Every structure is written in C-alpha cells, then in structure tokens.
C-alpha cells in the first residue's frame, strides 16, 4: 500500500496520552498526512481529533475543513494541503515594506475570526493538563 515516507516527525517530549507520529506519504501522485498513536494511551487523542473533525465539518464555517479519515484506532489520514500561513503572509509584507498590505492581512484574519462561532466558558481540566493553565 505504501511505498516510502516523505517526512516523519515524532515529539518524544509529549505526555504519553498525546504521543503521535506525523508521517507524510506519496500515494498515486498525491500526498497524505497520517497521525499515528504511539501507544494505547494516545488512542483517545486520535479519537478526539477525529471527533473534532466531525463537529467542525457540521458547522457553517467561512473556510473548508480538511478531510480526515479514520483508518483504525491508531491512525488518521488527512489530505495534504500546501498553503500559506498567516505568519508567512505577514513576513512577506514586512520584507517588501508594505504597511497597507500588512494591515490588510491582519484585518482579513480578524474578519475571519469574527465570523467563527464562539461561546464563553471555562477551560476544562483536560485542556489545562496539556497546556498548563494559570
């Protein structure tokens, strides 16, 4: 099925329940990203990512949600998307010294954020266990 990985990344500093490997594979002229649980504890994280994908797909968002396929309890498969990050867009405008374009990039991003559905709430213990809340 797979020929050869193009890219593999693993962060050994994560807690065991968040230990994933990211792999990029070429398949029939297309690229795909795989997120693979590295132990049984990380399987819940894989499921949570997939559940989040399902919830996002059901919302009326101002952008396209990348396809995610549940392969098995350890593995998710995503379409590979080559895109531009906000940071790269801002860096380009700084390099060409274009303040007007810099402000436009920020305003476009702010507009996108304002169109996203949101709700107020408290950070849950799972979030805080991962990101160290104040």
pLDDT tens digits, 16-25: 999 999 999 9
Going from the C-alpha of 4 to that of each of 7, 22, 24, 33, 102, the distances in angstroms are: 9, 14, 9, 13, 40
Through-space distance between the first and last CA atoms of the chain, rounded to whole angstroms: 46
pLDDT tens track for 26-38: 988 889 999 999 9
Region 125-134 average pLDDT: 72
Instruction: Tell me the pTM.
Output: 0.72
What's the pLDDT score for residue 127? 75
Q: Cα–Cα distance between 23 and 25 in angstroms, integer?
A: 6
């Amino acid at each position: 099925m797979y020929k050869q990985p193009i890219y593999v990344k693993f962060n050994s500093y994560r807690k065991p329940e968040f230990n994933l490997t990211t792999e990029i594979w070429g398949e029939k002229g297309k690229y795909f990203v795989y997120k693979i649980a590295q132990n049984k504890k990380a399987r819940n994280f894989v499921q949570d990512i997939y559940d989040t994908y399902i919830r996002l797909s059901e919302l009326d968002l101002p952008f396209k949600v990348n396809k995610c396929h549940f392969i098995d309890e350890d593995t998710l498969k995503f379409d590979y998307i080559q895109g531009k990050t906000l940071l790269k867009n801002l860096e380009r405008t700084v390099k060409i010294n274009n303040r007007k374009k810099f402000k436009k990039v920020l305003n476009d991003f702010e507009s996108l954020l304002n169109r996203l559905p949101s709700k107020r709430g408290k950070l849950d213990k799972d979030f805080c266990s991962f990101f160290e809340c104040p």
